[in-house]
Each structure stands twice: as C-alpha cells, then as structure tokens.
A and B are shown apart, each in its own frame.
Chain A
Amino acid sequence: MTLSQEPRTEPQGSTGDNAGGARGVAQGRGLFDREILLQALNGSFKKLDPRIQVRNPVMFVVLIGTIITFIESISHPSIFSWSVTVWLFLTVMFANFAEAVAEGRGKAQADALRRLRSDTDARIVKDDGTEARIQASQLRQGDCVVCEAGDVIPSDGEIIEGVASVDESAITGESAPVIRESGGDRSAVTGGTKVLSDRIMVRITAEPGHTFLDRMIKLVEGASRQKTPNEIALTILLAALTIVFLPVVVVLEPFGHFAGTSVSVVVLIALLVCLIPTTIGALLSAIGIAGMDRLVQRNVLAMSGRAVEAAGDVQTLLLDKTGTITLGNRMASSFYPVPGHTEAEVADTAQLSSLADETPEGRSIVVLAKERFDLRGREVGDDHAFVPFTAQTRMSGLDIDGHRIRKGASDSVKRWVQEQGGSIPNELDEIVARVSRAGSTPLVVADGPEIIGVIELKDVVKQGIRERFDDMRAMGIRTVMITGDNPLTAAAIAQEAGVDDFLAEATPEAKMDLIKAEQQGGKLVAMTGDGTNDAPALAQADVGVAMNTGTNAAKEAGNMVDLDSNPTKLIDIVQIGKELLITRGALTTFSIANDVAKYFAIVPALFVASYPQLKVLNIMKLHSPQSAVLSAVIFNALVIIALIPLALKGVKFRPQGATSILRRNVLLYGVGGVIVPFVFIKLIDLILTATGAF
C-alpha cells in the first residue's frame, strides 16, 4: 500500500478539450449540438454520391425517381412537377442528414481521441539495458519502455516491473487515478493514459495502429461499421417491399389507359416514393449508429454492432457476485457470544483483535463495535505485538498485557484453543453453522484458551439490485450469480439478491461449462469479466463485457469493454440492445402503416378524371388531385425529419413481458401509423390550398 498517498488532483484538462467532466469519451455533446448539425448538413451533400446511395436500396430508388421527375420537369415544366421534384430531392437529403447526424457525435469524439494519440515520445529500453527515445508510433509488440511520473504511456502494454498510479481519465473519464502494478490482473496499461507517480517498466503488447485507442477511434467513428445480421434481414424485407411496389405503380399506366385516363410519370413516381418504406429506409442506418453511440455515452465500447444486437437477445446473464450483486467487501454485522460471555465482551475482544487490521473487514469490525457498544478504537500502549494474518495460521490478532487475542476461521481458532488446553463450547459449532447458512462468514474470537464468541461478516447486497433482477425476470432473462463462495453461502446471497440461480465455488472451467450448457440449449449468454482466466469464457459468451481495469487478454476476448469497469452495467447493455431492435421494428411498422393514408390521398387523385365516382375514396377531402399528391409527398419527406430524434434516442424500453410491450408498440406505431398521416396530409393540403398554386 505504498501508493495510498494523496492522489494528485490537478485538473484533468491535459488531454485536450474532451476531459471537461467525468465522462472521457462519453462526454456529453447534446444530440443536436450546433456544430454537429452544421457538419451533418455538409455531410448530407457528400452522401449524394450514387456509390453511397446504392447501399440503401430504398433511398436509391427515391434518388432515381428524383432524377426522372427532374428531367420531366425540364421537358414539361409546371409548378406541380417542380414541387414534387424538390420534395423528392429533400426526401433523399433528409435521409442523408439523419445518417450524418448520427455519425456526427461519433466523429467529434473520434477527433478528441485522435488528439490523445498525437505523437508522444517513448523511452525504449534496449536489450543491453540502455535507454533511447523513439516515437511512440514506432513501438512494436514486445518492446520494453520506461514511464515515470508525468509521462504519457506510449502504447498498450503490460507492466513487467514496478507499480504506479495512472490517470486513465482520457479514456474512461474517471478522474480518480488507478493503481497499476506488475503481475496479477492489474498489470495492463493503455496507451494515451498518464503515469502520475513512480516508475514502471512496460512491455508493449500492441502493434502500431492496433492499440486500444486506435480501435476506440474506429469504433466511435463508425469506420468499421458493418450491417448486423438483423439489419441485413430488415434491409431484405424493405428491398422486397420496394420491389413489389415497382410493378404496382408501373401497371397503373396501362390500367389507367384502359380506363381512359393517362397517368403522368411525375404522379406515378410520387406514388412509388410514398409507397416504398422510405421512413425506415432513411433512418435504418442512423438507428444502428445511434445504438452504438448510446453505449458509448454510457462508457461502453462495443466492438461490433452484432454484439449490441446480441445483447437484446440475451436470455442468461452471468453476474459476478462481488461488485455486481454485493458491495464487494464483507462487513461485520453481528456479534454472537458463546454461553458465559456477553455480546459486549465479544465486541470488545473483536475490536481489540482488529485494531491493527487494515483490511475493510477488519475496519468494519472496529466500526461496528463502536456503533453498538460505543467502544472507541483505543490507542494501545507499547506493550503489545500485532500478529498478522498468514495463510498457515489463518488467524490474526494482538498480544497485549499477557492476553493473546485472536480472530479467524472457525477451524483454525478451535485448533489453536485446543493446543493451549482450552475447551470448545458445545454451542460454538451451531452458531458458526447458523451464520454460514445465512450466507455470511463466521469469524471466531478467542482470548487465550477461551473462546468468546463469533463475529458475523456479512456480504452486503447492493441496494435496488433485487428490483433490477425482477425487471430482468419480467423481460425473460435468467440471472445467474457467479461466486467463489461455498454453496451454502452462495444460496443465501442468491436468495437475498433475488437471482434465479447461482454457480458456487466457481472456477473458470465451471463458468465455461455453464456458458456452453446454456448455449447448447439455444440461449444467448452475457457475462462480465476482468481477469486473464476469464478470457476464454468472455470469448465464448455471446456478449462478453470486459472491465477496462482488467487484463489485456480479457479485453481482447470480450466483444465489449466497459470503461467504468462497473459490472452492473451489463443490465443497461441488454436494455440498449433491446431499444435498438424495438426502434427498428417500430419505425418499420410505422412506415408501412403510413401507406394506407397515402393510397387514399393518391389513388382517387389518379383516376378521378375518368371515374368521378372514385371521389368517395378521397376521405380526407383533399383540395385537388395535385394538392393531394404533393401533400402526400411532403408528408413523406417531413416525417423523416420528425422521426430523427426518435431514431437517435431510441424507443424507450420498459422492462415488461413481451405481450404488453407488443400491445403498446402496435397501438402506438401500427394504429398510430395509420391515423397520423391522415391528419397531417390533410393539414399540408390545407396549407397548399392556401397558397393558391394548386
């Protein structure tokens, strides 16, 4: 504990303009930051490139349609055909804009991160032990570098010598420094972070261009973004709908001819664009980008969109007990005297035994004794000796004034007492068993050959965690607690926290077997982990969230990294995954449902000339055929803009059963999707009529 000195709390502004607060990468730029909007506007034009457009079959059709109406407008100019052309063009632009806005925030974050990468010098240690300065970008895997207080760590690596406090705020946004030391699971350091104290030797583990920072930049920027399986499936459905509407619209020409009307190309294209699912087609990629971005906002980096999608499907969550379900450290909660002693005596003895115990458990004993019996932590004189905990004795304590006070595991203390000729009270075993059954850890306290009582160390379950598990259950997700505790203790904590199942005395192998068994049954499994021995399980799990404090091996194996290293976040991740899918489904439904109103606007307009009786179908009582068609086209374009915020923020997910979620969303986006356009097309028609041009 050499580094427990005051961490330097100088302002964390050294990492450029992104470290304004506690959120490193995720520092909050609003969804509609002015700068992002301006850039997005610019981006919308760049995306007009047909090579980009062709990737989105729905919008590509709109673009082609726009070109045709444009040509038509030149050859047969009219206010109507020019208006349609302009609004069709705007439809394409709005789609581009949606995507550009979604990308915008990621780009801004990527720029901030890139500044971190700006070339630092590295002090490389050669084989002969001499040091040299080279550029960080020239470091190769296996090189060794030295970093001292004030240095920026040049690349990802493993500490092979020394211990240091490191400021990782540039990456995690967390301003409190963390301790990194050689050996064990806290030896990984990330390029771009800063050493605050001491000196460490680091072996570089990443090739240039493949560091964690590089990957992060690529991710937030969306450069390596690929369509996810579900996105591909949806694109196919949208393409199919687009394809079927082509003949639907094209045959209206001969149909109209047979009926004695000629149908103008501009109107047909307007109808086509209104029918094909432009709303979801325009917003689909924005939804995907925004989903990844929402994770980044919560300081989670998903290595692929596929992982985010899988998160929505997760059916089993493996949660580490410590840190996720319980507060991590056991706390003294009760003192139990054996017959012949009082609770106060236990408290007194226990406190004495723990005076020198700096562990959180030891301190909690001192605190509890103080709270319960107002026993102050006293200053002991010179006439004493601390007995530290060792793996052999499994006890610790204090020798004072001829008393030999010990606390420790039941077996060890019993043996120690018996060795001194003391006797074991009959009731002791029962107390110990009772405490164990309750999921707590019993520590026996003895004064020389005499056993005084038992301290109960309790695992404190986090507040509110039970409710979250209830939510999970409602969502159909099974929670499994992973712990190294014995089955008895595990069962008690599982009961208290409300998890569905537990894996006690968990070894990495047992964890792996559990994941495989769940997957064998067709379930998707999510877990968190940080140690090197977690790596295989992280890789096996469908969603493996590695803690940023963890080892590089763990971070490589998982498909997400939580920069806050907060395992509870797994639950948020599942939620975001679900929101992403719901948003897609809701907007698809909305988009298709909209078509009903558009038909009622356009079909009567198309044929009313030859069949006046069709005006009955004009249930919105739109002013004229031209105003009807144009209103539908304008609605179709504006609805994209109107839905951008929803696409970016996502449809809110409430932890409920599938049926109630479905009912709600069908009503909102299905039934609502049928009704809303009737209202707005009518409104637009009224405005158009007021202009007097149609």
Chain B
Amino acid sequence: MGFFWTVVALVVFLGLSWRFLGAYLVSIYEGRTKWLGFVERPIYKLIGVDPEVEQSWQRYAISVVAYSAVAILFTYLMLRLQGSLPLNPNHLGAVSPALSWNTAVSFVTNTNWQAYAGETTMSYLSQMAVLAVQNFTSASVGIAVAVALIRGFSRKNSTTIGNFWVDLVRGVIYLLLPIALVASVIFMAQGAVQTLGGAVHVHDVLNGFKQIIPRGPVASQEVIKQLGTNGGGFFNANGASPFENPTGLTNFLSIGLLLAIPVALTYTFGKMIGSLRQGVTILAVMAVLFFSWVGIGTVAEHQANPAVAKAGLVHQASGNMVGKEVRFGDTSSALYNVASTQTSTGSVDSASDSYTPMGGFALLTGMMLGEISPGGVGSGLYTMLLFAIITVFIGGLMVGRTPEYLGKKIQAKEVKLAALGILVMPITVLVLTGIAVAIHAGRVGVANGGPHGFSEILYAFTSAANNNGSAFAGLSVNTTFYNVTTGVAMLVGRFAIIIPVLALSGVLAAKGLVPESSGTLRTDKALFAGLLVGVILIVGGLTFFPAVSLGPVVEQLSNGRFF
C-alpha cells in the first residue's frame, strides 16, 4: 500500500508541475518573465548578445555546437589542472586525459556518465565550478532546443527560431537556479551534506580501525542532477548514499524533480502551438510507456531473487533486496531507477547490476526506446516529436492525405530529418556494442561472462548514446577504450539528434500552416496516441530485439520464466 500512495503522490506532484511549471516555462521562453532582468541583462552585455535579435536554425545550431565545444574544452582543462587549483581539501591530483575527455563530454551532453568515483577523483572546485555548472547549462541547452522545435511548429513563414543565447540564459536563471535553490534547502534539512570541509577521518580506537568519510557540497549538486536530468552523483554510490539521498522524502523528491520539467514541457508545447490537447496527447503517450515500464521494473524487483532462492533461501520476506537500500525498499528503488532511465537522468538509488534480469530489462529497454517517456529535459520532448512526425507520415497516408502535423506538411525533408534523428541512436549503440564484444579491449572489462556480460556492454553504450549516464556496473569502464568509445557515443547521441531537430525546426518554421478539416488526421485523439505508442515500440523493438534477446531475455529464461 505504501507504494501505491507513493505513486499517487507522484502523480499529484507531476500534475501540479505540468500545469504550473508548464505555464511558467511558456512565459520564460516567450520572454514575458522578467523578474530577474537585473541579472539577465548584464549577462547579455558580457557575452555580447543582443537579446532582441533572433537566429536562423543554422545560426542557432552553430551557437549550440560552439557553446558545447567551448564547454567541453573548459571542463577538460579544469579537470586536467585540478591538482593545482584551489578548493581541493582532499588533495586530489589531475584527472587522466582519457577520463577528462570522457567526463567533459559526459557532463556537457547532459549524460553524466561517470567512469570515475566522485569522492576519490574530483576536487570540490571540479564538482562545483565545473561539473555542477554543466549540470545547469546542459539541461538548459536541451530545453532550448526543444523550445526551438516548438517554435518551428508554431510559427509560419518565419526564417528564425529564437536566439540560443537568450534561451540558454533564461533557462538557467529563471527556471533551474530558483528551483534548485529551494529544493537543496529541503535536501539539507533532510540531512544531505553541504560543506566545503574536507573528508572526516575517523579513528575507532576501540575496534582498532581507521575510516575516511568523504563529504562536500553535496545537496546543491544532488538537486540539479535530478532537476536537469543529469544524474551525475557526488559520490560513486549516487542516490544510494545517505549523504546524497538521506530519507524516503528526498527519494520521493528526487523522482519528482527528475520528472518535473520533462512532464511540464508537454504543457508548454501544447500552449505554445495553441492546442493544449496536442500536449496532452504527447503526455499520454509518455505516461503509458512510463507506467508500463515502471510496472515491469517494480513487478520484477518485487519477486524473490532467483539466485538467492537457488542458494536455499526459499522464503524471502521481501522482493529482490540485493543491492538495494533498506530505507527505500524494493519497489520504490525500482521506481527511482526506472524513472531515472526513462528520463535520461541515469542517477540510481540501487545497484542496477543486482536487479533481476527482467528488472534490468526494464532499465535497459526503457533507454532503448529513445528516452522519450518522458525523457531528458527538452531532449525527451524533441525526440518524441520526431517519432510523432514519422507516425503522422504513415498514419496520414492511411487516411488519404499527404501527411501534416500541427498544420505543417510532412514531406521528404521532414521525414529525412526525423528518421535521421531517430535512427542514429540505435545504429550507434549496436555498432559500438558490436565492436566492443568483438575486440579484446572491449571484452576485458566485463566482470561476468555470457549473457550478463553482454548486457553490461550493451547497457553501457545504450546509456551513453541516449545521454542517460546510468551504469549497469560490473563493467570496468575507466579504460581508454571505453572512455573514448562511450565519449563518441555520447557526442553522437546528443548532437546527431540536436542538429537534425534544429534543421527540422527551421524547415517547419519556414512553412505555412495547412488548415485542419475533417479529412485531416487528428493528432489529439486516443487513436493517434495509440499509433504513436505502437510506432515507438515497433521501432525500438525491431532495432533491439536480437540484442535484447541475447542479453536480459536469455538470462531471465535461464530462470525458466519471464517473471
């Protein structure tokens, strides 16, 4: 019953954020929110941007790429120079080149794949001024791109899709910073650590052992990692650590925060294109997928662990508690991890590697659908809209019209860009996994052989290419091979989608609007939502069926059943 009320509370929380945060987002990105103008204006002056001038999609895309390139370079250098920089009470040295590259790419692409353990690798300066900053800006970049795509739909005969710098700055100062500020206070009140004091050294004379307890500015980073669907924890244990995620309330808030913006963006989308029903339809599709996967994950984890059962413990009081925190329990832990893999966050409060095969299946396949239910901040919505375009194209034909979506004709260019944006992820995952299992450097990091080992590799690249960042663990990823290849996967998974999305926005914005008639395929109806779910499942299923069969499916079937 406890879990039932958790879900109810979550739905209420998200309903409120859908309505109010969604409306607030509209006013932020339509430029009506101005209460921090005194902060905003000097920033534009500093970076030399005229906020009144809008950009073509090409300029917008160049700005995104240029900003990200500079951010990667900055992050890389800061990590390399960490040893000689201040705020390093634990005297951590420079981060290795391969790991610095991987981490820089990881945080700038909103992935937060961590091939390192935070407490033993990163100084406070690196955590606060480098990684946390990217948590804010990479999230804002994602939302900006989504808003740019929405503008493409809502405008007609327009050559511009907004100004990236304005969208970036407004997202950070009006949206992310205020919410993060308030939420971190709650986290601190619940017991999350927030200090610049170094690690605590405990010497237990009585029992004769020494212990080092790492600390740091944790709460502030914990909140933005969830809110911005980043996922990179301060500690290696991520959300399982009591210093990051101390109580059931913070656990609940973590789940709420990571879903808040992706959910709210569907309201923003509906409002900005002038039809809330369209936004609701998209939300409904996300919700159906989300809750289906939550269902698979929680049911699977609520089962007794078959390996433990084999060992003779037939009567287990709870579900699979291997690798889970007792203060969260099996179902809430599964909810956290499923929510985090469905939103491209990648934070965890329990060890995915210890999940039952079907639980692992839920995490893995949740990402394989393209991180759209509801997906990362911004990225979830824009990827979902790519699927909607493909669905409209096929569905529109079936009603005897050349297809249109939200009044925009879907023609060769739109199909090309949408197909590119959707298919680049599976291709990247499959090709890199194929390489990894084929060569020594790839196979050497696997902790387990057979299907589980295969799942670990597949999971790593799926997580990286979807900018999720969660790890199945069990795979030693801090090697040159994995640092380089997952870095490539993260870059491709981010920018090979963003650029087609922005191009699509430009193409759509330049078009006129086709008025709706009763011959038009209605895209705000349950039938369309069902078709969209079908297309997402079919595309995901067709691309990953063989790979998944060889990983979690085989593993589960070794237990003789699916659940």
Query: Which residues of chain A have a CB within 8 Å of any CB of chain B?
Result: 229-230, 232-234, 236-237, 240-241, 243-245, 247-248, 250-255, 257-259, 275, 309, 312-313, 315, 473-478, 521-523, 577-579, 581-582, 584-586, 588-589, 592-593, 595-596, 599, 603-604, 606-607, 611, 613-614, 616-617, 653, 657-659, 661-663, 665-666, 669-670
Q: Are A662 and B419 in contact (CB under 8 A)?
A: no
A595 and B531: CB pair below 8 A?
no
- Minimum CB–CB distance from B449 to chain A (whole Å) comes to 9
Cβ–Cβ contact B517 & A582, under 8 A = no
Q: With a CB–CB cut-off of 8 A, which chain A residues contact B400?
A: 312, 577-579, 581-582, 653, 661
Quick one: which of B25-70 are within 8 Å of A by CB?
none
Q: Once the chains bind, are A258 and B557 in contact (CB under 8 Å)?
A: no
List B contacts of A522 (CB < 8 A): 407, 512-515
Sample of 5 further A-B pairs with CB below 8 A, known A240-B419, A244-B427, A596-B538: A253-B434, A313-B401, A477-B519, A603-B549, A617-B553
Given A236-B412, A237-B390, A477-B517, does the pair A248, B434 have CB atoms closer than 8 Å? Answer: no
Q: Contact: B519 with A603, CB < 8 Å?
A: no
Q: Which residue of B lies closest to A475 (CB)?
A: B519
**When the two chains form their complex, are residues A312 and B402 in contact, meaning their CB atoms are under 8 A apart?**
yes
Closest to B525 in A: A659
Assembled-state Cα–Cα distance A616/B554 (Å): 10
Q: Does B309 contact A (CB under 8 A)?
A: no
- A248 and B540 CA atoms in complex are apart in Å by 12
CB-based contact B515/A521 at 8 Å: yes
Chain B 512-547 interface residues, beta-carbon cutoff 8 Å to A = 512-515, 517-522, 525, 527-528, 531, 534, 538, 541-543, 545-547
Chain B residues closer than 8 Å to A599, beta-carbon distance: 541-542, 545-546
Of all A-B residue pairs in the complex, the 4 with the closest CB atoms, nearest first, are A585-B397, A476-B519, A578-B400, A476-B517
Determine whether B395 belongs to the interface, using a CB cutoff of 8 Å to chain A.
yes
Tell me whether B426 is interfacial, beta carbon within 8 Å.
yes
> Within 8 Å of chain A (Cβ to Cβ): is B480?
no
Task: Report how far A309 CA is from B409 CA in the complex, Å.
Answer: 13
Contact among B402, B411, B557 with A581 in the assembled complex (CB-CB below 8 Å): B402
Whether A584 touches B549, Cβ cut-off 8 Å, given contacts A240-B423, A614-B554, is: no
Between B402, B407, B438, the greatest number of chain A beta carbons within 10 A of the residue's beta carbon is seen for B402
A661–B433 touching, CB < 8 Å: no
What is the minimal beta-carbon distance from A128 to any residue of chain B, in angstroms? 57
Q: Are B423 and A230 in contact (CB under 8 A)?
A: no
Contact yes or no, A315 B531, CB < 8 A: no
Main secondary structure of the interface of B (DSSP, over half): helix
- Find B434's partner among A244, A254, A578, A588 (CB 8 Å cutoff): A254
A241 to B426, CA, bound (A): 12
CB pair A582 B518 closer than 8 Å: no
**A240 and B545 contacting across the interface, CB-CB below 8 Å:** no
Report yes or no: A669 in contact with B398, Cβ–Cβ below 8 A: yes
- Contact of B426 with A259 in the complex, beta carbons under 8 Å: no
Contact: B437 with A258, CB < 8 Å? yes
B295 at the interface (CB under 8 A from A): no
Task: Give Cα distance in the complex from A229 to B517, angstroms.
Answer: 22
Residue-by-residue, is B413-431 near A (CB-CB < 8 Å gives 1, otherwise 0)? 0111001100100110011
A-B contact pairs, 29 of them (CB 8 A): A233-B416, A237-B390, A240-B420, A244-B543, A245-B542, A248-B542, A251-B434, A254-B435, A255-B433, A275-B542, A315-B515, A315-B517, A477-B519, A478-B517, A522-B407, A522-B512, A582-B398, A585-B396, A585-B398, A593-B538, A614-B553, A614-B554, A657-B518, A658-B520, A659-B522, A662-B398, A662-B528, A663-B527, A670-B534
**Number of chain B residues close to chain A: CB under 8 A:** 64
Whether A588 pairs with B394 at a CB distance below 8 angstroms is yes
**Are B515's CB and A658's CB within 8 A?**
no
Expressed in whole angstroms, the Cα–Cα distance for A616 and B559 within the complex equals: 12
Known contacts A523-B514, A658-B521; A606/B419 CB under 8 A = no
Interface: B454 (CB within 8 A): yes
A666 to B437 Cα, complex, angstroms: 39
Inter-subunit contact A237/B419 (CB<8 Å): yes
Identify the closest chain B residue to A316 (Cβ). B517
What residues on B are CB-neighbors of A477 within 8 Å? 517, 519
The distance from the CB of A391 to the nearest CB of chain B, in whole angstroms, is 44
Q: Write the chain B residue with the least CB distance to A599.
A: B545
Q: Is the CB of A236 within 8 A of B415?
A: yes
- Chain A residues with CB below 8 A from B398, complex form: 582, 585-586, 589, 661-662, 665-666, 669
* Given contacts A257-B438, A659-B527, A582 and B430 within 8 Å (CB-CB): no
The answer to whether B419 touches A658 (Cβ under 8 A) is no
Within 8 A of A (CB), among B170-202: none
B390 touches A476 (CB 8 A): no
| Chain A CB within 8 A of B319 CB | no
Which chain A positions have C-beta within 8 A of B430?
Answer: 247-248, 251
Q: How far is the CB of A153 from chain B (nearest CB, A)?
A: 40
Q: Are A244 and B550 within 8 A (Cβ)?
A: no
The smallest beta-carbon distance between A585 and chain B, in angstroms, is: 3
Q: B402 near A248 (CB under 8 angstroms)? A: no
- CB-CB under 8 A from A670, the residues of chain B are 531, 534
Task: Give chain B residues whose Cβ lies under 8 Å from the Cβ of A247.
Answer: 426-427, 430-431, 434
Is B437's CB under 8 angstroms from A257's CB? yes
Q: Which of B410, B443, B541, B557 lies in contact with A233, CB distance below 8 A?
A: B410
Q: What chain B residues lie within 8 Å of A245 (beta carbons)?
A: 542
- Tell me if B393 is interfacial: C-beta within 8 Å of chain A: yes
CA distance A237 to B438 in the complex (A): 31
Q: Considering the complex, give the chain B residue whose CB is closest to the CB of A579.
A: B400
Contact A523 B515 (CB under 8 A): yes
A236 to B412: give the CA distance in the assembly, Å.
7
Interchain CB contact under 8 A, A233 and B415: yes
Contact among B395, B402, B534, B549 for A607, CB-based, below 8 A? B549
- Most chain B beta-carbon neighbours within 10 Å: one of A233, A585, A604, A606: A233
Who on chain A is nearest to B547 by CB?
A255
Contact with A along B204-246 (1 / 0, CB 8 A): 0000000000000000000000000000000000000000000
Complex CA gap A614/B396 in Å reads: 38
Closest to A243 in B: B423
Q: Does B451 make an interface contact (CB < 8 A)?
A: yes
How far does the alpha carbon of A475 sit from the alpha carbon of B518 in the complex, in Å?
6
Which residues of A have CB within 8 Å of B525? Answer: 659
How far is B416's CA from A312's CA once the two chains are assembled, in angstroms?
22
Evaluate contact between A658 and B518: CB separation under 8 angstroms.
yes
Is there an interface contact between A236 and B434, defined as CB atoms closer than 8 Å? no
Q: Tell me, in angstroms, the Cα distance from A564 to B132 when the chains sit together.
A: 74
Residues in A with CB closer than 8 Å to B401 are 312-313, 578, 581, 658
CB nearest neighbor in A for B432:
A251
Of all chain A residues, the one with the shortest Cβ separation from B439 is: A254
CA distance A309 to B396 in the complex (A): 13
Tell me whether B550 and A473 are in contact (CB under 8 A).
no
| Docked-complex contact A250 and B434, CB < 8 angstroms | yes
CB contact between B451 and one of A229, A259, A313 (< 8 Å): that residue: A259
A40 to chain B, nearest CB (A): 26
Quick one: given A229-B411, A236-B416, are A251 and B431 in contact (CB under 8 Å)? yes
Check if A233 sits within 8 Å of B546, measured CB to CB.
no
Contact A259 B427, beta carbon cutoff 8 Å: no
From the candidates A309, A473, A577, A603, name the one contacting B545 in the complex (CB within 8 A). Answer: A603
Distance in angstroms from B163 CB to nearest chain A CB is: 28
A477–B553 Cα gap in the complex (Å)? 50
B residues in contact with A611, CB < 8 Å: 451, 550, 554, 557
> Which residues from B are CB-within-8-Å of A659?
522, 525, 527
| A255 touching B454, Cβ below 8 Å | yes
Complex interface: chain B residues within 8 A of A252 (CB): 546
Quote the shortest CB–CB distance from B459 to chain A (angstroms).
14
B435, B438, B554: which has the most chain A beta carbons within 10 Å? B554
- Complex CA–CA separation, A258 to B435 (angstroms): 11
Check B12 for interface membership: any CB of A closer than 8 A: no
CB distance from B474 to the nearest CB of A (A): 15
Does A259 contact B454, Cβ atoms closer than 8 Å? yes
A303–chain B nearest beta-carbon distance, Å: 18
Say whether B399 contacts A662, CB under 8 Å.
yes
Across-interface contacts of B399 in A (CB, < 8 A): 582, 585, 658, 661-662, 665
